[in-house]
């Protein structure tokens, strides 16, 4: 119970600064979550992307960064028919590829710009208006600050982008804040970035250290920093036609996570072309993820080579994965129970 003095303090501050400025911690609702479209990534994140916070997807070229963002948007559109996204296309927007990944592009607002100030202003306006459910910036390195743009090619501009980025995150705290009211729709914020070699940096292992454009201040502002890397290609045999390269294994690691354990690692099998084994272009191997996460959280029982869920039993992981690939309702039921187990473990 709060003391009378504490209640009086709350009343004074809320009167001066606005209702809800000072609240009792026990009254704050759980962090809202957005699914990533991948069960194993949701588990890594602690139940999905955090709402009303900014997250970073970072990696090298062609590692799957934009794919993860598109699959996230597609999954949330499937769950919510009114889910709308603002996509800041600093590198252009490939409508065909987005649709291959399951995105309903009629619910995506695309703002094409390379101006850093213009991009950040649009993001702040969109967040404050409550008109969209998600904001994606793809990608930070393609933006240029006005101070830098005004200079000639032979003139040096140091830290112009970092200064503007720091200001953006300082201003974004107020506009991304949502009230405690249950009816207030949360916001998903994702910024895509790239690794750069930190020239001159020292590593005792002899490996060139990595850094990311935008300065260090942004790293403190992100709630989640997710590293994405390609570990191997997926090649499958085509009867009588040799071997087809149809996908890649995307390795994921949470560099930072303020809502769950950091330094978690997982993999997603992603298919960028139709595969001989039956996976469609743009699909994850979701059934394999469901089986693995189901066993991890005790939703699926594994005894030797036998797997069971409820009254059903399968001999071998492949057999169960094949069944839930065809029976999407069964897979959805298992996924729901895994998410419930994640929430229970985090409570």
**CATH no. for residue 141?**
3.40.50.300
Same domain membership, residue 231 and residue 157 = yes
Same domain membership, residue 328 and residue 278 = no
Does 254 score more than 70 pLDDT? Answer: yes
Same domain membership, residue 149 and residue 255 = yes
The domain total for the chain is 2
- CB–CB of 163/107 below 8 Å? no
Does 156 score more than 70 pLDDT? Answer: no
- CB–CB of 31/199 below 8 Å? no
Domain boundary among 234, 249, 284: 284
Same domain membership, residue 324 and residue 242 = no
Q: Which residues contact 236 (CB under 8 A, 6 or more apart)?
A: 243, 244, 246, 275, 276, 277
Same domain membership, residue 223 and residue 317 = no
Residue 72 in domain: yes
Residue 211 in domain: yes
Does 201 score more than 70 pLDDT? Answer: no
Residue 53 to residue 134: CA distance in whole angstroms? 11
Residue 8 in domain: no
Share of residues in the chain with pLDDT > 70 (%) = 93
Residue 18 in domain: no
At residue 265, φ and ψ (nearest 5 deg) are: -125, 140
Same domain membership, residue 165 and residue 53 = yes
DSSP character for 106? G
Same domain membership, residue 224 and residue 96 = yes
Same domain membership, residue 237 and residue 126 = yes
Domain boundary among 284, 299, 314: 284
Same domain membership, residue 118 and residue 63 = yes
Same domain membership, residue 183 and residue 257 = yes
Q: What is the rounded average pLDDT of the residues 231-256? A: 91
Residue 5 in domain: no
pLDDT digits (tens, 9 = 90+) for 101-132: 999 999 999 999 999 999 999 999 999 888 99
Residue 3 in domain: no
Q: What is the rounded average pLDDT of the residues 5-24? A: 89
DSSP string for 5-67: HHHHHHHHHHHHH-TTSS--GGGSPPPPEE--S-HHHHHHHTSSEETTEEEEEEESTTSSHHH
Q: What CA dihedral angle connects 250, 253, 257 and 262, to 10 degrees?
A: 150
Residue 73 to residue 119: CA distance in whole angstroms? 19
Domain that holds residue 341: 285-347
Same domain membership, residue 313 and residue 276 = no
pLDDT-based confidence at residue 96 (cuts at 50, 70, 90): very high
Domain boundary among 252, 269, 284: 284
What are the tokens at 181? 């009211």
pLDDT digits (tens, 9 = 90+) for 312-322: 999 999 899 99
Residue 240 in domain: yes
Q: What is the rounded average pLDDT of the residues 293-307? A: 93
Same domain membership, residue 118 and residue 76 = yes
pLDDT of residue 108: 98
At 88 the three-state DSSP class reads strand
pLDDT-based confidence at residue 204 (cuts at 50, 70, 90): low
């Amino acid at each position: 119970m709060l003391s009378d003095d504490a209640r009086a303090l709350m009343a004074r501050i809320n009167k001066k600064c606005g209702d809800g400025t000072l609240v009792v911690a026990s009254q704050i609702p759980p962090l809202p979550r957005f699914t990533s479209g991948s069960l194993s990534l949701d588990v890594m994140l602690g139940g999905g992307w955090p709402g009303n916070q900014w997250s970073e997807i970072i990696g090298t070229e062609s590692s799957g960064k934009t794919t993860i963002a598109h699959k996230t948007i597609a999954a949330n559109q499937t769950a919510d028919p009114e889910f709308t996204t603002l996509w800041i296309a600093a590198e252009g927007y490939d409508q065909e590829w987005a649709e291959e990944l399951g995105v309903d592009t009629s619910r995506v607002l695309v703002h094409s710009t390379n101006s850093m100030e213009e991009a950040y202003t649009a993001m702040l306006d969109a967040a404050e208006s409550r008109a969209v459910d998600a904001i994606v910036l793809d990608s930070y390195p393609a933006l240029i600050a006005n101070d830098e743009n005004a200079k000639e090619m032979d003139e040096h501009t140091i830290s112009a982008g970092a200064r503007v980025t720091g200001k953006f995150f300082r201003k974004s705290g107020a506009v991304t804040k949502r009230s405690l009211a249950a009816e207030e729709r949360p916001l998903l914020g994702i910024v895509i970035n790239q690794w750069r070699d930190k020239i001159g940096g020292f590593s005792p292992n002899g490996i060139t250290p990595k850094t990311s454009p935008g300065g260090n201040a942004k790293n403190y502002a992100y709630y989640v920093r997710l590293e994405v890397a390609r570990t191997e290609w997926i090649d499958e045999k085509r009867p009588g036609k040799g071997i087809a390269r149809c996908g890649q294994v995307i390795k994921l690691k949470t560099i930072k996570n303020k809502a769950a354990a950091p330094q978690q690692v997982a993999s997603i099998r992603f298919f960028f072309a139709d595969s001989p084994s039956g996976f469609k272009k743009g699909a994850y191997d979701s059934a394999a993820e469901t089986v693995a996460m189901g066993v991890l959280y005790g939703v699926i029982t594994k005894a030797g080579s036998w797997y069971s869920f409820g009254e059903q039993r399968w001999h071998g992981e492949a057999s169960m994965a094949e069944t839930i690939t065809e029976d999407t309702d069964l897979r959805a039921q298992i996924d729901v129970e895994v998410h419930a187990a994640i929430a229970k473990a985090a409570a």
